[in-house]
Amino acid sequence: MAPSLKTTPEPARQKLTQNELNGVVARHRAFRRNQAGGARANLKFRDLSHLELEGMDLSDADLSGAKLFSARLAGANLAGANFYAADLRLANLEGADLHRADLRGACFRGAVLNNAKLIECDLRDGSMMRWGADGSIVEHAYDHSPLISELTSASVVAADLSRAKIANAFVVQTDLTDAILRGAKLMRANLSNSNLTGTDLRNADLTEAVLTNARMVGCELTGAAINKANFSDAILVGAILDSGQLASPSLKGAIVAKQLAELGTDLADVLARHGRWIESGGKEGIRADLSGYDLVGRDFSDVNLSAAMLQYVSLRGGKLARSRLAIADVSLADLRDADLSEADLRGASLERATLTGADLARALLGPVQIDGGGGGHLWRTNLRRARLARARLPGARLERAVLRAADLAGADLTGADLTGADLGEADLTGADLTNAVLTDARLDGAVVDDAIGLETDRP
């Protein structure tokens, strides 16, 4: 008779001490360097709970079925490692390298994976069978729960999951803010109630994925497959979508950009009242709030929108030449291919805004002096994590600063035209300047730590 199949609590594992683990890692390091006495780390079904692995090199190690509950793996090199059916609940993997790691059936419930590299990792379903004490075949489990790949309640902020395989996995109530999921396989994945603000999902496969109640503000979905996906009550305001996606029945029930008919008044009246609000110092009129509205292709040339609320606004292809947007909140806005030439954006918040292909020639993006009762304050333009790929930001022949002291940390400037631009004292930490044109650009005093594609010997 064939042995019965059932699910039982997880098996007892051999508990390692910190010294024992350090020895295994030392031998693994020697193995990686082809040194005498080296041996590939075999930590299969070992209990490493609460141990310190921060910064350690366990690339290509075998940790299948291992228990790493609340272990500290921040900054560790785990590329190509086998974590099949491993227990990583509440583990700290911040900044860890899990490139091409086998994470099938692994449990990351409550884990911290902020800024981790999970490129091409495998997070699909997995199952592990073993012989029980009574001779039956039993399925490996976590705390009496069936084994399944999951990132439930995990923090995966700004992690890189490009081309990762996450099909069928549970990613419920997970913080994926600013995560990179380009080309990821998310078929039938459960992402309900997750935070996907600013997430890059270009060319991802979301076929039959569950995204109910997900927050997807400013999320980029161009080229993504969304057939039969469930977006019920998902917040897609400010999300970057293809025209074909906008017509997809899968978006039925999603919360998308508001139409001007919902404004309750004429747009010209809103702008007139905002003008009075500015001129009177806030004593008359009403501050304009067009957050979340669909204003695609609208003409705001020469209009004064200083300090206006324009969060999540859809202004793709909009005409904003010479407009005044100083100190305005334009965060998470869709400004693809918009004309912002000569616009005054000093002190504006463009955090996570999408400006791909936008024309910012001779635009003012430097700091602005704010006078207050306790003295003046220098207000920097916020372009943190803004998408400026192929944007035109030339500043040649311009006497005043263009991007001086601007916050461009984590911004995408790939292929951008920065000819003659003044980036002095700007924060370019982690910014991507691959193929950007920096001819005659000024970088005096700029912070360029971890910047990508920038020559380190530039003045």
Give the Å distances, CA to CA, from 107 to 66, 165, 172, 313. 11, 15, 12, 38
pLDDT surpassing 60 at residue 339:
yes
User: By C-alpha distance, which of 327, 317, 307, 406 is closest to 355?
Assistant: 317
Cα–Cα distance, 393 to 383 (Å, whole number): 13
| Confidence at residue 226, expressed as pLDDT on a 0 to 100 scale | 97
More confident residue, 208 or 375: 208
pLDDT surpassing 80 at residue 128:
no
More confident residue, 132 or 324: 324
Q: How confident is the model at residue 281 (pLDDT cuts 50, 70, 90)?
A: very high
Q: How confident is the model at residue 3 (pLDDT cuts 50, 70, 90)?
A: very low
Lowest mean pLDDT across 121-135, 351-365, 441-455: 121-135
| Confidence at residue 6, expressed as pLDDT on a 0 to 100 scale | 44
Largest Cα–Cα separation, the chain: 88
Question: Taking residues 212-218, what's their average pLDDT?
Answer: 96
Tokens of 194: 């997750």
Task: Note whether 136 and 115 are within 8 A (CB).
Answer: no
Average pLDDT score over the chain: 90
Q: Where are the domains positioned within the chain?
A: 258-459
pLDDT surpassing 60 at residue 456:
no
pLDDT surpassing 60 at residue 188:
yes
pLDDT surpassing 50 at residue 271:
yes
Question: Taking residues 273-288, what's their average pLDDT?
Answer: 96
Question: Taking residues 154-175, what's their average pLDDT?
Answer: 94
Kindly report, residue by residue over 79-107, the tens digit of the pLDDT. Answer: 999 999 999 999 999 999 999 999 998 99
Indicate the fold that domain 258-459 takes in CATH.
Pectate Lyase C-like (2.160.20)
Task: Note whether 60 and 97 are within 8 A (CB).
Answer: no
Q: How confident is the model at residue 378 (pLDDT cuts 50, 70, 90)?
A: confident
| Confidence at residue 137, expressed as pLDDT on a 0 to 100 scale | 40
Give the Å distances, CA to CA, from 286 to 96, 255, 302, 333, 376. 48, 26, 19, 22, 25
More confident residue, 269 or 169: 269
Question: Taking residues 389-400, what's their average pLDDT?
Answer: 68
- In the chain, what percentage of residues exceed pLDDT 70? 88
pLDDT surpassing 70 at residue 170:
yes
| Confidence at residue 374, expressed as pLDDT on a 0 to 100 scale | 54
More confident residue, 455 or 249: 249
Cα–Cα distance, 367 to 356 (Å, whole number): 22
Q: Which residues contact 168 (CB under 8 A, 6 or more apart)?
A: 124, 125, 149, 187, 188, 189
Q: How confident is the model at residue 376 (pLDDT cuts 50, 70, 90)?
A: low
| Confidence at residue 440, expressed as pLDDT on a 0 to 100 scale | 87
User: By C-alpha distance, which of 203, 222, 447, 181 is closest to 356?
Assistant: 222
Question: Taking residues 418-443, what's their average pLDDT?
Answer: 92
| Confidence at residue 169, expressed as pLDDT on a 0 to 100 scale | 87
More confident residue, 12 or 365: 365
Q: How confident is the model at residue 394 (pLDDT cuts 50, 70, 90)?
A: confident
Kindly report, residue by residue over 14-66, the tens digit of the pLDDT. Answer: 999 999 999 999 999 999 999 999 999 999 999 999 999 999 999 999 999 99
Question: Taking residues 274-284, what's their average pLDDT?
Answer: 96
| Confidence at residue 402, expressed as pLDDT on a 0 to 100 scale | 76
Cα–Cα distance, 311 to 308 (Å, whole number): 9
Query: Global pTM?
Result: 0.86
Lowest mean pLDDT across 273-287, 294-308, 317-331, 391-405: 391-405
Lowest mean pLDDT across 309-313, 367-371, 383-387: 367-371
